[in-house]
Amino acid sequence: MGICSPDLDYSSGALGSAVSHMRLWQDAIQSQMVRHIAEDDAIIRPDFHEIYHEAVKAAPEWDIFLWSYNDDWPVGLVSTFGHVASLKGKDISPDFIVRNYRIFQEDRRKPSLLPLSSAAGIGFYSISPQGAKKLIDACFPLQGLHARYAGDTDMRWQNRALDVEMSRHYQTLNAYVSYPPMAVMINDSANSTLCGQGQMSTVNEAS
């Protein structure tokens, strides 16, 4: 299987990040273990595992749970008849998160799991072995085809990173987004994985 088409418009950092995620998906398939995948700047609620196990019981056929998303971009939710509804909140700055992350970590509200159509950011997500196979088959080789923009589905979302590519396929998967999120990202551009300087961590869990 090829990684990408010759004319793919990804930066070297974005392509490297995509390959890193693909390898973790391959590990999930080979080990038949769920993977919880987080960027190095993710701040995760300490009750995550409790919420995750509740989510699995509620949606046993799940492929991917997206636990965080970029607040500066609308999230697409699958509504009636497959129509897309847009969820957009107030942008939160990295400085605000750094100053207030303890408040976030003390939050114990139970999030809702909403059917996902598109979202920017893959800072923290869980993927099942079958979800990993579906995404590898759908995403690779990367071709850079446009995704739908949730704020106006008549507009095209330029595909220059894996989160956009994944958004092309969420609606065909058993994909869910957590609202409110279970993790927030500092999104410090000086230490961004997308720039090739950060790291990802992963945890195994039996499927």
One-letter amino acid at 142 equals: L
Nearest to residue 198, comparing CAs of 37, 2, 73?
A: 37
Give dist(CA 126, CA 64) in Å, integer. 6
Residue 193 has a pLDDT of: 37
- Does some domain include residue 3? no
Secondary-structure breakdown of the chain: helix, strand, coil percentages, each rounded to the nearest 5: 35, 25, 40
39 belongs to a structural domain = yes
Judge whether 134 lies within some domain. yes
Cis upstream peptide for 6 (omega within 30°): no
Rounded Cα gap, residues 53 and 6, in angstroms: 41
Assess if residue 32 is contained within a domain. yes
DSSP 8-state secondary structure symbol assigned to residue 161: S
Give residue 69's pLDDT.
Answer: 94
* Domain housing 61: 12-206
User: pLDDT in tens for each of the 207 residues of the chain?
Assistant: 689 999 899 999 999 999 999 999 999 999 999 999 999 889 999 999 999 999 999 999 999 999 999 988 999 999 888 888 988 877 777 788 878 888 888 989 999 999 999 999 999 999 999 999 999 999 999 999 999 899 887 889 999 999 999 999 999 999 999 999 999 987 654 444 333 334 554 556 665
Residue 6 within a domain: no
CA-atom Rg of the chain in angstroms: 16
Q: Is the dihedral of CA 42, 45, 48, 54 positive or negative?
A: negative
How much is the pLDDT for 83? 87
197 CB-near residues (< 8 Å, 6+ apart): 190, 191
| pLDDT for residue 204 | 60
**β-pairing verdict for 64-66 and 175-179:** parallel
Residue 25 counted as domain residue: yes
7, part of any domain: no
Instruction: Select from 7, 35, 19 the least CA-distant residue to 193.
Output: 19
CB 165 within 8 A of CB 159: yes
Provide the residue type at 207 as one letter.
Answer: S
| pTM, 2 dp | 0.87
| Residue 18: strand, helix, or coil | helix
* Residue 152 confidence (pLDDT): 84
The answer to whether residue 5 sits within a structural domain is: no
What's the total number of domains in the chain? 1
User: Are the C-beta atoms of 132 and 174 separated by less than 8 Å?
Assistant: no
Task: Say what the pLDDT of residue 93 is.
Answer: 76
